Amino acid sequence: MVTRAGPDARDQSSGNTKHVETVDDAGQPAHHDMVAQPHGTDDEPIAAAEAVAAEMKTDARPHGELGRRFDRHSPFFVGMTAAAGVAVTYGAVHMLVAAQSVLVLIGVAFFLALGLEPAVSWFVNHHLPRWLATTTVFVIFLALMAAFVAAAIPPLSQQATQLIHQAPHYIQQAQSHSSTIGKLNDRFHIQQRITDTMNGSGGSILNEIVTASSAVFAALADMLIVIVLTVYFLIDFPRIRATLYRLVPQTRRPRAILIGDDVFAKVGAYVLGNVAISAIAAVATAVWLTAFDVPYPLLLGIFVGLFDLVPVVGSTIAGVVVAAVALTVSLPVCLSTAIFFVVFRALEDYLLVPRIIGHAVKVPALVTVVAVLIGGALLGIVGALVAIPVAAAVQLIAREVLFPRLDGT
């Protein structure tokens, strides 16, 4: 392969512009200096295409101009499109099944990034570089988490130790026919069922401990992955947003931007609002249980806060568990705790959610229940957590795009 000087190359002695192009042994121009070019007689069609490629290359368009569109009515185009569609669908299904756990982590990180994006944008609007704004938000978040852990660990460890020490007392109460727990045990045979379950494990307690330890380490690893992905999503969010919108045809892009930004805002408002409401639920539960001397108020408060993140059923399950623990104090305390959760749930639905989340994520009750059930069946707890914002996004797209087209407007 040799090079030859064209009329546009710059002669260093005269200062005139010349064009230097690379040619192969047959005299055909080559499109790239670092890629071997075909020279055999069998490669003549490729060599001809290489020559055309070299002519198409310009400084403004290093990969040439776009070619003319395929004839969409051509049998070849229709057949190839159908075959490609089947192959892509088959491959996508297998890929989704194989990478489900990783995709769940990516989805959770993206939702968290959307939830933290308003805070990052606030700092960016106050003239901070985006990387510094993201760092600031995460430092504040980690500082709050560290302060919470530092304040919660001493009472949590104390209450956990108390629970271990009180376990024989609870077993004795369960065996006593005069106590409330004993009466429930006589009626529902709770202790016998627990014993059968433990015996059914066949002495594999060590295996259970190993399994539980592995699950804890896996959860910690997943948490670390989610945090790292969230940071990257936040730093590159403007680029991700622009890339997504470039996938839309130019004529539809302005409206796609309006709808897409509305979807991002709804998801972000839901994530932040749901976390805030769950924190309020945790604090209110801990205060209530402390006031009535129910054991382990901080542990149960954190338990309620975590379960309150799950829509529809989370707060109900948490309320039943906490009321059952309150039963160890007395039946009136148990009933009052159950009433507390009913009242708090009403306040949450009709006061906290409209004020904190607002009408950003307003989904009909039936759609909410169906979305949570489908999300839980597909992705477990994570699916239930993201079901409502996804349903709100689908509802917005259907209202703004699908229904007007079906109505002919």
C-alpha pair distances (Å), 384 with each of 343, 372, 374, 394: 23, 5, 8, 16
Please check the confidence at residue 356 and state whether its pLDDT lies above 80.
Answer: no
Please check the confidence at residue 54 and state whether its pLDDT lies above 70.
Answer: yes
Q: What is the pLDDT of residues 129-153, one digit of tens each?
A: 888 988 898 888 888 777 777 766 7
For residue 207, list its beta bridge partners.
none
| Average pLDDT of the segment spanning 44-63 | 75
pTM over 0.85: no
> Using the 8-state DSSP alphabet, how is residue 310 labeled?
S
Which span out of 61-65, 120-124, 160-164 was modeled with the highest average pLDDT?
120-124
What confidence score (pLDDT) does residue 191 get? 59
Q: What is the chain's Cα-based Rg?
A: 32
| Average pLDDT of the segment spanning 7-36 | 49
For residue 3, list its beta bridge partners.
22
SS3 4: strand
DSSP string computed for 97-138 = HHTHHHHHHHHHHHHHHHHHHHHHHHHHHTT--HHHHHHHHH
What confidence score (pLDDT) does residue 13 get? 43
Q: Closest Cα to residue 48, out of 57, 36, 59, 38?
A: 38
Indicate the pLDDT class of residue 7, thresholds 50, 70 and 90.
Answer: very low
Q: For residues 263 and 244, is the Cβ–Cβ distance under 8 A?
A: no
Q: Closest Cα to residue 273, out of 365, 341, 353, 383?
A: 353
Give the chain's mean pLDDT. 76
Q: Tokens 């607002």 identify what position?
A: 358
Please check the confidence at residue 211 and state whether its pLDDT lies above 50.
Answer: yes
Higher pLDDT, 8 or 187: 187
Q: What is the pLDDT of residues 321-353, one digit of tens each?
A: 888 888 878 888 889 999 999 998 888 877 887
Cα–Cα distance for residue pair 293/286, rounded to 1 Å: 10
Tell me the one-letter amino acid at 130. Answer: R
What confidence score (pLDDT) does residue 12 get? 43
| Average pLDDT of the segment spanning 369-389 | 80
What confidence score (pLDDT) does residue 3 get? 44
Centre a 10 Å sphere on the Cβ of residue 230 and count the other Cβ atoms it contains.
22
Least trusted range by pLDDT, from 109-118, 330-339, 357-366: 357-366
Least trusted range by pLDDT, from 101-115, 146-160, 243-257, 277-291: 146-160
What confidence score (pLDDT) does residue 192 get? 61
Give alpha helix (H) positions in 236-364: 237-246, 253-291, 297-308, 314-326, 331-347
What confidence score (pLDDT) does residue 15 get? 43
Locate the domains of the chain by residue range. 2-56, 100-170+215-247, 256-409
Higher pLDDT, 409 or 314: 314
What does the angle CA 102 – CA 108 – CA 112 come to, to the nearest 5 degrees? 145
